[in-house]
Structure formats: C-alpha cells, structure tokens
Amino acid sequence: MKKFSEVSVLYRDALPAPTEFIWYQCDPRELSLPLALRGNQPLCAWIISANIKAEVDLSLLKFASDLLTIAPSVFADCPSDCFSVLVIRFTHGQDARIPVFVAATRELPREQKLFPLGSEDIATFRFPNGESVGPFESDGGLPLTYDFRDKKFGNTARLKLGNPRPINIPCARCLRMTLKGDGSYHRISVRFNNGYDSTVYSSNTILLDFDDIRTIEFAIPAEVVLPLALNDVIRIVCSPGNRAQTGRLVLYDITVSVDQPDTSVHNSEDMQPSASLTYFPAPKMPVGQSSVLSEIPSRLIWAMASDPARSAIFSCATSEGSPTLFYRPLGSDTEFLSVAPVTEHGYETEDGCRIAVCYHKFYLYDLTPDTAYEYRLNDGPLQSFRTFPADPNEFSVMFLEDVQIGNRPVFFERLERILAKEAAEIKWPCFMMTLGDIVHSPDSAVEYERILTACGEHFQKMPVAVTVGNHEYSDYDLFDIFARRHAMPEGADLGLGGAAYSFTVGNYTFFAVSLVSGDLYPQYLDRLDKALQECHSKWKIVFLHCSPYTGQGGFFKHRMMVAPILERGGVDIVFSGHSHIYIRASVWEDKAVAPEDGILYLTMGAAGHRMFTNDRGFWQDYVYGSYEEERTDSDGMPDPTCSTAKFSTDSVELSVRTLSGKTIDHVIVRK
C-alpha cells in the first residue's frame, strides 16, 4: 500500500540482514552478507566474544553494492562453539551488530541444557524482591512460591537464576521447561536478553491450568538478535479471575533446542486482554497541611477542548474553597461572564503526610473562533487566551515527554530552557502535547507543583493535550490522581486506562490513547476501534505513552492487539514516550516497511535527566540516543530532547533536536 505521497527523513540506520551466520574453523573462508548502508559510512568496528573485545581493521571489511565481505582473520582468535559479535559503527543511527556462530566442526550442537547445572548455588536463587526460593526437593525440583496479595510481587513474580545463562547453539528456536504446575490459572512466560546490549525479548505465555509435572515449550521469538541469554527464568503473571492469589511451582529442567516448538507465539491465551488492575489499600499516613497549596488558586492549566475554536477548558487547584472564573472578549467593556467549576476532592502526599486537594475545572462554551478573551480567577490578575481559527490552514505543536525530575533543581531550570527553545520555534495557533510521565511520583504534591512552576507560563499561553504515563499510576489510587489533576475534553474516558479522548483541528483529529503497560481493557479497545473507524478526517494522529513499536518497554500485546486497530482505523502517525530515546519506525501488518507505506511511529525521547539505551526491534528505521555521547552535552550533563511539529493541510513537518543544539531528525510527511 502507499499511505503517504511522500516522506522525507534526515537519517536512516545501516541495516544488516537479520540472518544467523556460521563460520567454520575447519574451513575458514570469507563471510558475505547483505548490508544496506542507506547513506551511512563505516567509522570503526570491533569483535566481541566470550574472552575478547578487539578492534577490527576496516580494511578487513569490504563494502560494495550493499554487500559486506568479512575476511577470515576477523574470527581467527574467537572461541569455538559459541557466538561472537562483529560490531560496526556508522555515521548515523545504531551500530550494526552481526552475530556469528564460530563452529569447531561441521557437526553443530542441536540442544543445550540451561538448568540445572553442576555448579548451581542455591544462594543465588531469589525473586527480585529478595525472597529466597528452594531448597531443592528430594526429587531434584526447585520450589517457587509466590503471593500476589503482597505488594512486593505486584502483578508479576519473576525468578532469576544467578548469573545470565547464555544460549550457545545456533538457530535456537525453542526453550523446554519441565515444571510442576499449581492449577492456579495464572500465566507464565520467560524472557531472553541479548548478551551484547541487554535488549529484552519476551516469549509466548502458557496457562497454569495443570497441577502435575509437564514439559512445556516457549518459542524464541523470530525477531531476536543472537547471542541470547535466559533473563527471567520464569515470569508468573497474575491473571484476572484466577483461582488463587498464592501458589507453588516446582522447576526441574530447562533446555534450549533448534527444533520448532509446537506452541505458537501468537497463542490465543497470550492475547486475551485483561480487564482489571491490581489495587492495594492506601498506606496509613497522617493528614497534614500543604506548604504549596492554599485557598488561592494555583496549578492553572489551559487544557485542550474537543473544539478549540469554540470552547476552552481551564483547571486549577486549592487546599479548600471553590473559585469562580470570570471571562469576556479582550478589550470589551461588557460584563464578565462567570463560570462555576466542576470540583473534585482528593489527596496527595507531601513530607510523609496526605494532604487534601480540591481540583477545579472550568468549561467555557459558545466562544467565537479566532478571538482573544481575558479572564481571571476570583479577584486575581487578568490573563488572556485566544480561540483557534475555525479551520486553520496551519498550526504548530510542541512536545513534552518523560520529565520525571523528582527533586533535582538543576533539571527544573533545564526544563524551562527546553520549553522556551520549543516555544521560540512555533507560532499561533499552537498547543502542547504531553506524552506521559510528566512526574516521577504520581501523588507528590511538591514535585507536581515544581513541574508546573517550570512549565506554568507555557501551560497558560497555549492549550495542553495530556496523556497518561505509567508513573502517573498509583497502586492505591490507580489513575485517579492524574484524572483529577488534568482537565480533559468532554466525553473523555476516565476509566481503568487513565484518560482517553479526541479533538479536531482543521483536517486533523487527534486521539489520546491510554497505553501504559501490558494491561489492556477489552471495552476500551472496542471503543477505540469504533471511534477511529467513524472518524473521517484527512489525517488521524494518535498520541500515547507506550507505543507498540518503540525501544525499551515495548509490549508484545500492543503489537498484536492495538496495532491492527490503528491500521484498520486509518491512523497516520503515532507519537509516544516511555522509552527515553528517539526512535522512528514505519510498520504495517507487524512488518517494517518503507516510510511512505505504513504507520509512522515516533518515540520522542525524554525531557528529563533519565536517558535509556535501546532495546532493538526489527521495526526500527532510525534510532538516536544509543551512545553516551548522544545522550550527554559537552559538559557531561544529560542532553534532553526538544521537538516541535508543524501541521498544514497536506503535510506534517517534524523537527527534533537536543537542548544543546544537536540535530536528531527532520521528517516531512505529505498526503
């Protein structure tokens, strides 16, 4: 299909063929493989194996017509019967990593035992929360107990077996585990990680509907990049409607094999969406007095309305009382119109206490398009806002994602600089799009107040369209605090998924989609599917926190269940956060495609100090931020992302830079 008439991008990664290569010590020859340079030039290369990390002379690598030829001497000192990785750094994007199994003979191993090994130390077997497992039973099994009533486990109990267990056979496709089940109807899975860069891959899940000893199979995903190691040996995921909150499994044996598993990676049990979140009782905390809230309204935010040309929404907070908003056309001598708020009451935390907060939202209707208004809260100072034109030919957006500063004053100052830099590059009409995790602690009154102090001028000069992140989730308040703090357009879904809504500007309809974890809610997905298909705008833009196609934190369920909904609904671009790195991907039907042929997925980096490396995915077309020098400025400080976009009748133009001025990407999409 041809989704866009034209797509222009600044950079693309060099792309090696995703093939497993074998080099035989008994018959040393050149190794040739396809490698799409895509405008890149090699800078340096090195080889990594179990006992060496050595620089490789580029003269031993020949690049011609998208074919790479590797001289035999590159692998001469590598140990046999295990993987070595040839890493080539190019001018842009990620390193090209080429895994090669160095075989001693033509007789290749077909199976490898991962557990138990002869030198196992029971002291290393622990759940991540510190609870020990074992000791071994008389028949050699290792007992694994879990308790989902305990917050330490949350929704998932994970077992690690000491040091990573590398998979040292080529073409590994199946992991077999001998296990005694508990009939709990929870689900179990395993996770693998790449030995070079710790990219994590998840397997299919299997239902614990048995209480005898069975050998079960987990498929090693087709998109994995070797070499691999077993990461979480067992992940026990609490399933809604399960029969037990506690359980006990017994592990006997783990092997990997080149045989294809009988279990499908896409089994239906794995794809069933959940319908609830784990809820824990609120902690017992004293009730205190806030140092940041009072009867005077604060936290003033101008929120995006469903029709920003004819309506406006404002929110604020107080410690008590109920303010009134007064407004009229700017410069008019008519009487002010008054608007009473919709008020909700809740609690946040401050200095170890729970403080009472009154959240107020004001909805202004029947406004005139492209008109300036003045307003005030109670008898406070006058401020102004302007409605959007009824059908703008062009408008701008500035992005804010993954701030999560906590209590670090230096980064609040840098946040102010990020927003000032973005604001200088856009013009009215415009709005701000947040992509989740604006705070690190979901209920901290002080952190939220400081964030708004740094952002406040911009949060009041343009409407803000918010979406929920996983750090805006609380074990005992779910997404309630986020929904109370932020005003959403009329008809917003404030259910389990956080907050979902849509609004239209000109030829564009924007959908805020609530995806923050592996939990999916059937009723919400059905409504999203219907809303997208009933929308007839020329452009459909989705913004969310956790994208189906991103870096760290990507979720297999989102790829299998959410991406098809976006494709059926005609979505053009998806903006996301969560992975704290910039990633561009073009995907259709779970396959990487040319930029003009699929949905454009853009993970927009981070505006805070936390920068992550990348979990590789087959869909990634270009990645920025994998290297330390990309994530830091000349002073060694984190170099956050500054991004803006210009939307016109037939095109979207995205500009992505760092705070220090490094150019990350420039994308133009025409339709």
3-state secondary structure 414-444: HHHHHHHHHHCCCCCCEEEEECCCCCCCCCE
Q: How far apart are CA 10 and CA 354, in angstroms?
A: 49
Counting as low any pLDDT under 50, the low residues of the chain are 265-269
Q: How far apart are CA 12 and CA 585, in angstroms?
A: 10
The answer to whether 415 touches 402, Cβ cutoff 8 Å, is: no
How is residue 499 written in tokens?
Answer: 């907050």
How is residue 356 written in tokens?
Answer: 């009472």
Q: How far apart are CA 576 and CA 321, in angstroms?
A: 37
The answer to whether 619 touches 593, Cβ cutoff 8 Å, is: no
HSE of 171, CA atoms in CB hemisphere, 13 A = 9
Q: How far apart are CA 640 and CA 633, in angstroms?
A: 9
What local confidence, expressed as pLDDT, does residue 229 receive? 84
Q: How far apart are CA 471 and CA 328, in angstroms?
A: 38
- CB atoms under 10 Å from CB of 432, counted, come to 25
- Strands annotated E in 484-632: 501-505, 508-512, 539-543, 573-576, 582-588, 591-592, 599-604, 620-624
What local confidence, expressed as pLDDT, does residue 410 receive? 79
Instruction: Determine the Cα angle at 521 with ends 613 and 591, to 5°.
Output: 50
Amino acid, single-letter form, for residue 324:
T
The SS3 assignment for 618 reads coil
* DSSP codes of every residue in 327-370: EEETT--SPPEEEPPEEEEEEEEETTEEEEEEEEEEEE-SPPTT
What local confidence, expressed as pLDDT, does residue 314 receive? 97
What local confidence, expressed as pLDDT, does residue 535 receive? 96
**Residues 6 or more apart in contact with residue 421 via CB below 8 angstroms:** 642, 659
How is residue 391 written in tokens?
Answer: 């059908």
Residue of 440, 503, 429, 441 lying closest to 466 (CA atoms): 503
| CA 305 remoteness from chain centre | 26
Three-state SS for 635-652 is CCCECCEEEEEEEECCEE
How is residue 323 written in tokens?
Answer: 């303010």
How is residue 231 written in tokens?
Answer: 């990461």
Q: How far apart are CA 96 and CA 248, in angstroms?
A: 43
What local confidence, expressed as pLDDT, does residue 244 receive? 72
Looking at residue 197, what DSSP letter applies? T
pLDDT single digits (tens) 198-242: 677 778 888 898 999 999 999 887 767 667 888 777 888 777 665
How is residue 463 written in tokens?
Answer: 């409407």
Residue with tokens 């979505």: 571
What local confidence, expressed as pLDDT, does residue 97 receive? 87
Q: How far apart are CA 277 and CA 272, in angstroms?
A: 15
Residue of 48, 31, 13 lying closest to 195 (CA atoms): 48
What local confidence, expressed as pLDDT, does residue 101 receive? 92
What local confidence, expressed as pLDDT, does residue 121 receive? 58
What local confidence, expressed as pLDDT, does residue 126 receive? 57
Q: How far apart are CA 94 and CA 622, in angstroms?
A: 7
Looking at residue 521, what DSSP letter applies? -
Determine if the pTM surpasses 0.75.
yes
What local confidence, expressed as pLDDT, does residue 558 receive? 86
Amino acid, single-letter form, for residue 242:
N
The answer to whether 10 touches 666, Cβ cutoff 8 Å, is: yes
Q: How far apart are CA 364 and CA 313, in angstroms?
A: 6
What local confidence, expressed as pLDDT, does residue 642 receive? 96
What local confidence, expressed as pLDDT, does residue 269 receive? 47
Q: How far apart are CA 68 and CA 35, in angstroms?
A: 6
The answer to whether 541 touches 467, Cβ cutoff 8 Å, is: no
Question: 362: exposed, middle or buried (C-beta count within 10 Å: 0-12, 13-18, 19+)?
Answer: buried
Q: How far apart are CA 535 and CA 542, in angstroms?
A: 13
What local confidence, expressed as pLDDT, does residue 277 receive? 61
The answer to whether 584 touches 549, Cβ cutoff 8 Å, is: no
Residue of 599, 395, 432 lying closest to 512 (CA atoms): 432
Three-state SS for 112-148 is EEEECCCCCCHHHEECCCCCECCCCCCCCCEEEEEEC
